[in-house]
Structure 1
Amino acid sequence: MQFTHYSFLFLFLFSLLVQSITAFQSSKTLDEFIKKSCQVSRYSELCYSSLSSSYTGDPDLGKLSYAAIRISLDQALDTAHYVDETSTSSSSSSSSSSGAEELVPVRDCMELSKDAVHQVKKSLDQMARVLREDEVENSRKRRFEMSNVQTWMSAAITDQDTCVDGFSQVHGGKLQNQLTAKVEMLLKFISNALALVNYFVQSSH
């Protein structure tokens, strides 16, 4: 009876050990996959840090690309909200001609940021549809849909590039510097997501 008890305990502990080793190996494999995938991006360290801390799925490039777009959308929404609030507060407090001049690119950037959100959201929805489809049966449709994702993500980058260019046309100030830093960070996230999308498309051929 005692022998049976110890045997059961040993098997239980051994099972826990095997599960721990498997989980560790799986985590290490996923971490290496993310790091390797992010090497195709321009801002690889940001790519790795943002995905390694949030992505817990399979080592699948399509799913990883989706996660990167999801992160970009969160950043785009945050940036659009920040620009909108900045535009509102600046409008109510600005009275000088230089302040009014600085508001023009802020308002333009507000519209561009909203469009960037729209473009990234479309990309996320399209990517979700691609991942649900059968790759073999819908290869032509899949290529078309992925082309849309690439186009829309590129459009979002253009939106934010235009925003930064607009700020460079006015006299520098604290407001301009804060907004530029915010938009440039969003640009990095979208750039990384697009790099993974492009990598996914190339790997699918």
Structure 2
Amino acid sequence: MENVCFYCLLLLLVSLGCTSSIISGATATSAPNTAVDFIKASCKSTLHPALCVTCLSRYAASIRESDHHLAQAAISVSLNHAKSASAFILRIRSSSSGGSMIKHREYQAVKDCVSTIANSVASLSRSVQEFQKIMADGQDFEWHMSNVETWVSSALTNQNICGRGFANSMMNGHVKDMVTKRMVYVSQVTSNALALVNRFAARHRS
């Protein structure tokens, strides 16, 4: 029941995404300092520790000092941002249908990105569901954990593919800037999630 409640809380909070402040709202007043310190210490294992702390400290009161809850929150945050990026890129494609508003090369890159980011969202969704199985019964740990690691890694790969689609020097417009900045941010969040998932796996593998 505790794990189910934690996941429900995540669904409620994670839609707000990361904020510019390290801790916000009720979480700031209810989270013990030890929980925040635990998140900060854990985020040192990521490539983007400041972003990691910013994204996850708002859930400190629920995460407490649980590496289970920390990894689960990180995946859920990553999924939320991937969904947001997917909707953003779909809007660009829709507004530029037929290449009327952007160059053909950019339009094709946007179309390719729609596909890769959709794959990323699917992989992260599977990861969230699979991680819940680990939390629920603790059985077949290695099987579930391997699936989670594979899918989060796949999600990150697809996000990077989307960003690289705009690497051509002939694409230096507003669309390229918008998409690449968005995808760099999302890939950093997912990279942090993967690091925390790997950290959790390493600590609990027999």
What's the counterpart of residue 68 of structure 2?
Answer: 62
Contact 1:116-1:156 within 8 A present in 2 as well: yes
What's the counterpart of residue 128 of structure 2?
Answer: 124
Q: Distance in 1 between matches of 2:117 and 2:88?
A: 10
In the superposition, relative to structure 1, how do residues 89 and 204 fare at CA in structure 2: closer, same or farther (>3 Å)? same
Which of 35, 39, 46 matches 1:30? 35
In the alignment of these two chains, the number of paired residues is 175
What SS does the corresponding residue of 1:54 show, helix, strand or coil?
Answer: helix
Aligned-residue sequence identity (percent) comes to 29
Aligned-residue CA RMSD in angstroms? 1.7
What's the counterpart of residue 198 of structure 1?
Answer: 198
How far has the Cα of 1:102 moved from its partner? 1.0
How far has the Cα of 1:26 moved from its partner? 6.3
Segments of 5+ residues of structure 1 without an aligned counterpart are 1-23
2:61 maps to amino acid: T
Which of 39, 44, 52 matches 1:39? 44
With structure 1 as the length reference, what TM-score do the two structures score?
0.81
Query: Which runs of structure 1 show a deviation greater than 6 angstroms over 4 or more consecutive aligned residues?
Result: none
What's the counterpart of residue 118 of structure 2?
Answer: 114
Segments of 5+ residues of structure 2 without an aligned counterpart are 1-28
Q: Distance in 2 between matches of 1:172 and 1:144?
A: 44
Show CA shifts across 1:49-94 (max 9, x none). Answer: 1100234223100111000111001101100000000111122562
Which of 60, 75, 82 matches 1:76? 82
1:85 maps to amino acid: R
Q: Distance in 1 between matches of 2:159 and 2:43?
A: 22
With structure 2 as the length reference, what TM-score do the two structures score?
0.81
Q: Does 1:87 align with 2:86?
A: no
What's the counterpart of residue 182 of structure 1?
Answer: 182
Q: Distance in 2 between matches of 1:153 and 1:121?
A: 9
2:148 maps to amino acid: V
Larger Rg: 1
How far has the Cα of 1:156 moved from its partner? 0.6
Of structures 1 and 2, the one scoring higher in RCO (CA 8 A, sep 6+) is: 1
